Amino acid sequence: MNVYDAERMADILEGEGYTATETIEEADLVVLNTCHIREKAAEKVYSELGRIREMKRDRTALGLETRIVVAGCVAQAEGAELLRRAPAVDLVVGPQNYQNLPDLLRQSQKKRLVETEFPAEDKFVSLPAPTAKTIRARGVSAFVTVQEGCDKFCTFCVVPYTRGSEFSRSVDEIITEIERLAASGVREITLLGQNVNAFHGLDEAGSTVSLATLLDRVARVPGIIRLRYTTSHPLDMDDVLARAHRDNAAVMPYLHLPVQSGSDRILDAMNRRHSVADFRAAVASVKRYRPDTAFSSDFIIGFPGETDEDFAATMQLVEEIGFSSAYTFKYSPRPGTPAADMADQVPESVKDSRLQTIQALVTKQQRAFQESMVGRTLDVLVERVGRKPGQIAGKSPHLLAVAFEGSADLIGQVVSVEITESVTNSLIGQLSDRPRAVA
């Protein structure tokens, strides 16, 4: 979502005469888009700001002005504290205020400013669309936020505080945005939301539609051939959505479904509102409709009170499900969240050793999944030229990176690729002359 947000901020700033640069030393304006989900990400902002401050000093010596904006969830959470700790910052702007960036920039010229209100209006309505040239430069696979915020209040998580309560965009607004992307060459859309499968946007008739219906509508947009959505909550994974994995040909056989822990006791303490059995049932329902679905998940290791037995249950769940990939995080206490004040915080050394154990298993599964593709012919959406000369690269239906020899003219098309080799984090193959199985 931060990638998407950064793009939308670039779009609005383009209207103000700014253009993006690859070289930070050249920038008259630096917008730091930030993440508050774990302590490490949040702390990085301050070290980054230190570096940017030095750059600003060098530019000032050359008579150049540099304005510094901190956006994103650290901006939302820290607010005025950022102005205090980082004197070079001109403007602090939360994720719900990007539509006002031009105005805020003007105001902050006179006085350093913090804007972290949750406005009543839909920010997406006032965010300008990217130009055709910008869309082309961003590539054939695009993110579109359809839902934002969260009402679930897991006890470890800052999202309900930084992104606010759940909000779904209207179907009309989403389709208009996607039509525009498709007209400039986008072929794959990933619908985004902190709780994307809780989507409940209004359609043109004023009725509330579910994510499954939205996926159907998006699949009908000419040019869109692949659909993904992330991130989902196990409790919102209903039968209608599971069925879309069979009935909507554009929906790819891949699902990111965070479970966090394999222990009911810990899930309860996390206020996840679902059991391990609910997670198993959600996986099974998607698999029933689309047996070749690959699953990925998120795990928090060392949540307060996590015992060896709880951790063993998590390991067992990973063994049982078999993930194509998984993201594992050491529990990081976040200020203002209930879990940060819980007794029985797990010592860092225990977290470290459990993290290593689970990562070894996840890596093994990831590798095995990739290797299971060798010898198969896969549909690959070609996204870009490859790292080696003459190579092009794209993604398989299961979101695996595939590189092979071919012409850059194929970018934007789905081609058949025979997989010959599995290397670290990608597959190598060759263009097949066999016709593709699926459109």
Q: Are strands 254-256 and 147-148 parallel, antiparallel or unpaired?
A: unpaired
Tell me the C-alpha distance between 183 and 162, whole Å: 34
Where in 16-45 is the site for ligand 5AD (CB under 6 A)?
Answer: 37-38
Tokens of 72: 């994103």
- Give the torsion sign (CA, 18, 20, 24, 26): negative
By a kind-dependent CB cut-off of 5 to 8 A, residue 152 interacts, out of ligand SF4, ligand 5AD, none, with ligand SF4
Q: Which is nearer to ligand 5AD, 250 or 362 (CB)?
A: 362
C-alpha closest to that of 195 among 160, 158, 233:
233
Using CB under 6 A, which of 334, 351, 354, 398 touches ligand 5AD?
Answer: 334
Tell me the C-alpha distance between 326 and 261, whole Å: 12
Using CB under 6 A, which of 15, 137, 153, 335 touches ligand SF4?
Answer: 153
Q: Which is nearer to ligand 5AD, 247 or 298 (CB)?
A: 298
> Judged by CB under 6 A, does residue 300 bind ligand 5AD?
yes
Name the segment binding ligand 5AD (CB under 6 A); options: 50-58, 267-275, 331-339, 387-395: 331-339
Q: How far apart are the first and last CA of the chain?
A: 28
User: Would you tell me how many other CB atoms lie within 10 Å of the CB of residue 218?
Assistant: 24
Where in 140-179 is the site for ligand 5AD (CB under 6 A)?
Answer: 156-157
Q: Which is nearer to ligand 5AD, 58 or 341 (CB)?
A: 341
Q: Are 377 and 418 spatial neighbours (Cβ–Cβ below 8 Å)?
A: yes
C-alpha closest to that of 225 among 253, 252, 254, 250:
250
Tell me the C-alpha distance between 238 and 254, whole Å: 16
Tell me the C-alpha distance between 362 and 358, whole Å: 6
> Judged by CB under 6 A, does residue 199 bind ligand 5AD?
no
Using CB under 6 A, which of 98, 331, 369, 404 touches ligand 5AD?
Answer: 331
> Judged by CB under 6 A, does residue 273 bind ligand SF4?
no
By a kind-dependent CB cut-off of 5 to 8 A, residue 233 interacts, out of ligand 5AD, ligand SF4, none, with ligand SF4
> Judged by CB under 6 A, does residue 258 bind ligand 5AD?
yes
> Judged by CB under 6 A, does residue 332 bind ligand 5AD?
yes
Distance of CA 5 to the CA centre of its chain: 11
> Judged by CB under 6 A, does residue 223 bind ligand SF4?
no
Q: Which residues bind ligand SF4 (CB under 6 A)?
A: 150, 152-154, 157, 159-160, 194-195, 233
Footprint on this chain of ligand 5AD (rule: CB under 6 A)? 37-38, 156-157, 258, 260, 298, 300, 329, 331-332, 334
